Structures are given as structure tokens and as C-alpha cells.
Structure 1
């Protein structure tokens, strides 16, 4: 259940909280500062996770905001949780890495004339089932 709450929390944080470009740890809300304490910039998720839980930077809008797509309808969250505690930790790290990448991408197109302070996320729910939010945990 913790993992499911984490996923929902991450989606809500990105959708509703504007993020400052070129963010430093102290610029973030306290509950997000942990993202700067891990190796998310260099960590490579196992290929199976990348394939089965897709997200990607699609591009930038006219205002320079990064546009991220999360194909959440393809995410079999339930099976990630059911694979055990170690897999759940890896999956959680993968989700945190996505959030870290979104935050880092905010400033990529920022200029003195056009400070970018937001990211856009698109959640593709095609194929999503509410059954994914149920588990034995």
C-alpha cells in the first residue's frame, strides 16, 4: 500500500506544485528534498522496469516548460509490489528518479528573459485498471 500511495503522491506533486527552474535542494518543499540525497542522476534502472513502466521527456512547450509523458496505463504496479520487498525498493527508486528528472528538466530552457518555473506532465491512462491499486499489502 505504501508504494501505491507514493505513486499517487508523486503524480499529485508534479501536477499541482509549480517547480522553480534550476532548483537547488533548499528550493524544494521539505518533503521533496530527499531527492537530492540519492544517486538518481547516475542510477540505471533495470531494463525490465524501463520497458514495463515507461515515462519520457516528450519535448518543451512554447514557454520552455518540459513536457513529460507517463504511460501509466502500461504500469503493472500490482505485479511490482507482489514481486517482493527488494523489487518494491527498486520500483520506488525508479519512481523517485522520474520525479528527480522532472525537477532537473524544469530549468533546461530557462533564460533570464523567460524563467521557467513549471513542468507539464501528461498521464496516459490507456489500459489502466483500478485493480492496479489493490494488493495484499
Structure 2
């Protein structure tokens, strides 16, 4: 994702800057970065209707990289290794409709995977505050994708108990006054909105038609796929380290989507046997009738030299399997 660019020059879309909740607010008593995320005020459906999923993920990685930079600065400043951060998730105003939408759960699952796969052991502690009676239902949707170690770091507090627990680890001067501390921003805002995005409902004026969330609408190919049929898109990859990107949407129904690797040219025939194929992305249900699907995969294997192991070139099969009759735009 070109993280050096995300660290230095990334500029998120205006709707993300205005309505993506959260920010790096200070540090705990040991000097580790502290984030506050007013998750209960997040309009994830509104954000998805306004930007591509990849832009949402890019901003999330940008925030993780910002934390990495802060850890390095803190290590130099304090003369000790700082390599973890903590997050306060404020669930005030949270309703189940924020998660009772399949694309939202899928996105949270993907963000958790990004953290655990690419930023391992960075999480120190998660404080879930202002948890209502419905929070256990929401957490039950997310907990299965958390590793055992990550789940142990999640601490849930109701309204009456969280302040004393948070103050054990964080000085009041590091917390905005809205969250029990003494900090205000230069305008006297108790939420410190200049550094902590407050979220809120995304105005419909930011919404874009699904086709507008695709990068190259003029080059789309339209196909009709019969129920329970397979539509393979095969690409020959000449060079190790190549990157494949995809974008597609359907008109009415969800589909199954997967990416497979096939080493031999002779085996790479449309609709041919996939017994020897390697699964790069497992076939999964994609709700691209609600939100256009886009993603990326790097065509390389750690420890394997593809251009000598597979001199005839590499083939990637992107498979779209529909369970209903519908129209797809790959």
C-alpha cells in the first residue's frame, strides 16, 4: 500500500476527514500512544456509500502508520523501547444497525486481519467504555475473528465503572475533558475535535452512485452469469512481484469471489480443473450488490523465486460464482 506515501503525503477524502471518528490524543503513563475512537458515532454505511472500500482501508493503515511513527518518537524521547499502543472505544450512542449490515462486519473483519497480520503485538489494551446492554450482541459478531491474545486485551466497562479503570493507566492531562481528563483544544472544545474525529451521520450529499466508486467506469465489461455458474477471469503474470487489482459490482445479488494461482500454462484453460490451483483468496460471499468490491493481491511467494521455478509464466484465476441470476461488472 506504499506506506511511506501514507506516512508523508496521504490526504484522505474530505468525507473521511470529516466523518471518520477517532484520533491520537496523547500517551499513557508508560509513554505508549493513546487513541480515542468514538465508535458509537460512526456512520459506516454512510462512509461506504461515499468512498471505495480500498480508500477506507487506506485511511485505516495511515492511522496505524501514524502510531508507528509516534512509537519511534517516544522511544527516542524517553530512552526506552515503546512498541505498543492503547485504544479507547467509546460506544456511547451505539446501535446494532451500525453492525447489522454485512459489509460493515466484513470490513471490521478485514481491518482486524490487517492489524494482526501486519502490526503484530502492537496492541497493549482496548478500553471499551459506555458499553450498553446490546454491546455483547455486537461483540459476539466480532470476537470470532480476534486472536486469543487480542481478545484478552479487550476490557469492557459500563458507564459507571470506566473512568476509574482508565485513570489507573492514563493521566488526566492526557485525556480530553469529555472523557474525564483535563485536556481541551485551542478552541476550548472538551472533545478536542481538532485531533479526534467526532464521526456523525454522513450527509447524503457525499453519497456517490456505485459506478462512481469504481476507478475506470468507462472500461467496465458487463456480463450475465447464470445461477451456480463460474465466470473465470485469467491473467498471465510475467513478473514476480506484480500486483493485481480488481473492482466489480452486481446489480441485484451477492456472489462468491476467489483468487487462485496456477503455475503451468497448459493447465490454465477457462473452466478447467482447479485441482492443482493454489488458493490465494478463498471463495467467499461478497455483498457487491450493496457496496462495490475492490481489492489487491501481490503475485509472489516469500522464499520462492517464481521466475526460475515457473519459467513459462504465472497464471492467476479470479473466479466469480453467483448463487442467483444477476449481472456483474468485473
Normalising by structure 1, we get a TM-score of: 0.61
Aligned partner (choices 68, 71, 76) of residue 106 of structure 1: 71
Aligned partner (choices 93, 96, 102) of residue 130 of structure 1: 96
Shift of 1:45: 0.8
Structure 1: unaligned runs, 5 residues or longer: 1-33
**Paired residues for 1:1-137 under 5 Å:** 37=3, 39-41=5-7, 42-83=9-50, 86-111=51-76, 113-133=79-99, 134-135=101-102, 137=287
State the distance in 1 between where 2:44 and 2:86 align: 23
1:85-133 superposed Cα distances (whole Å, 9 cap, x missing partner) = x532222211221122122222221147422121111111212222122
Larger radius of gyration: 2
Task: Give structure 1 regions of 4+ aligned residues with deviation exceeding 6 angstroms.
Answer: none
- The 3 A distance-change label for structure 1 pair 38 and 132 is farther
Report the 3-state secondary structure (helix = DSSP H, G, I; strand = E; otherwise coil) of the residue aligned with 1:57. Answer: strand
Normalising by structure 2, we get a TM-score of: 0.28
Tell me which protein shows more helix as a share of its residues: 1
Contact in 2 for aligned 1:59/1:67 (Cα 8 Å): yes
Q: How many residues align?
A: 101
Higher RCO (CA 8 Å, separation ≥ 6 residues)? 1
Shift of 1:135: 4.0
Structure 2: unaligned runs, 5 residues or longer: 104-286, 288-330
State the Cα RMSD in Å.
2.3
1:39-95 superposed Cα distances (whole Å, 9 cap, x missing partner) = 211111122212211221111122111111122112111222234xx5322222112
